[in-house]
A = this chain, B = another copy of it.
Amino acid sequence: MLHEDRLFPAEQKMRAIARRLYDGIKDLPIVSPHGHTQAGWFARNEPFPDPVTLLVQPDHYIFRMLYSQGISLEELEIGKTPVAEPRKVWHLFASNYYLFRGTPSRLWLDYVFENLFGLTERLSAKTADRYYDTIEAKLREKQFLPRALFERFKIEVLATTDSPLDSLSDHKAIRESGWKGRIVPTFRPDPVVDPAFSGFSENVSALGELTGEDTASWRGYLRALASRRQYFKSMGATATDHGHPTAKTADLSKSKAEWLFGKILEGEADEEHQELFRAQMLTEMAWMSLEDGLVMQIHPGSVRNHNAQLYTRYGRDMGADIPGPTDYVRALKPLLDRFGNESKLTIILFTLDETTFSRELAPLAGHYPCLRLGPPWWFFDSPEGMRRFRLLVTETAGFYNTVGFNDDTRAFLSIPARHDVARRSDAGFLARMVAEHLLDEDEAAELAQDLTLGLVKKAYRL
């Protein structure tokens, strides 16, 4: 099912170069500095459940496509625990697998099916049962337990994403277990810095209790955040992550910020003030990052929960987050005016608006010492997405203002598949440059290493 030259350019000179470049990186360990796997899996090390609960239910790439073609979420048993008829759902998925032609999900899944489960005939209605039985059986084997897979995948470090209110007990349990797998948390403060987050004011109170600070005061609130950052850092965290609707930043006077925080806490802030507060908090976080050394990731630009009916019935993360136009040049200016020239600060920018790659992001990252560009995100974590990213960014920002690959996944099994797609894409991209004599092959080989490991470790301080 998997051709050894997949994703390489068809032209034979380029393909030969791509192969050589890929051979130099394909067996390197995986560094995964940003993702959404659960530390609990590795703390408990219990078998993964049935194929549907493992592969279909939690993957919004998969069920959004099926849903878009008229298959209901009820039929797919989305949100139901445990799944009542997993084999029936699996059949529905299998007989619609052709819908994924041309999508990265197809690439990732085929990789998992063949390399992990030894399945080599394409998934379809016809092969559905064989697939189901094989996967279900394998999942009961010892070498399919989370820790065994982690080792088999050669993961050097894996970052999770966590609320400041999380006790990180699973991370603690892993450390105390004596198991050597390096799993680190990431500080994602949205629940306590975004006034539009559900439960915001309760979250701020909980933050106060957790830290012993008076989070009803601006000063105490900031101290509480700094304290949780310290705690995350002590548990291995090297980065924070910020998923705001826009990239807007602000640099208010202390008194103005204090007044705004009061307004927010009283629950009287309108949308504009909420946006201003998030904007101010990005700058506060940058300031703390400069102090404690945590790398800052900014992930703006998604209109969350666009489908009102689905949100009412199913809640967040139902595949209905839709990107919109995103401004960086004006939005980031307040933060950059204050901290832009700090070469000790690292801010990694992501986007869902590809028009900003060549127009805004590459020019910004090619100038400001604190800025780096994150890999193509979400819908663009795909062969063509990666190609466009490199084509639009490299000539202005070079390779060295980028930070290698993020798998950004909830789907643990797909991690090697995703890194493999990235490595193949990089090899193909560099091969074209070599074939067109824009780079020598020794440089391309060095770059391939840097993109796979060097830049990731450096940017994320791992």
Contact = CB atoms under 8 A, between A and B. Distances in A.
Interface of A: 2-3, 5-11, 13-14, 64-65, 67-70, 98-104, 106-107, 122, 303, 306-310, 319-325, 327, 329-330, 333, 336-337, 340-341, 343, 352-355, 358-360, 362-369, 371, 379-380, 382-385, 391-392, 394-401, 432-433, 435-440, 443, 446-447
Nearest to A447: B101
B340 A309 contact: yes
A141 B172 CA distance: 70
A362 B104 CA distance: 14
B395 A383 contact: yes
A3 B436 CA distance: 9
A139 to B, nearest CB: 28
Given A11-B11, A308-B337, 7 more contacts: A8-B436, A68-B369, A69-B401, A307-B336, A310-B341, A322-B363, A323-B329
Contacts of A69: 369, 400-401
B7 A367 contact: no
A384 B395 contact: yes
A10 B14 contact: yes
Specify which of A6, A68, A432, A433 lies most central, judged by the most chain B CB atoms within 10 Å of its CB.
A68
B385 A395 contact: yes
Contact of A433 (B102, B322, B341, B446): B102
Nearest to A1: B440
A307 B340 contact: yes
B371 A396 contact: no
10 contacts: A6-B438, A7-B436, A7-B438, A10-B432, A67-B367, A68-B371, A103-B398, A308-B333, A309-B341, A384-B391
Contacts of A443: 98, 101
A202 B398 CA distance: 41
Contact of A355 (B6, B98, B359): B359
Contacts of A400: 69, 98-99
Contacts of A396: 103, 379, 382
Max chain B Cβ within 10 angstroms of own Cβ: one of A100, A320, A341, A395: A395
A303 B98 CA distance: 39
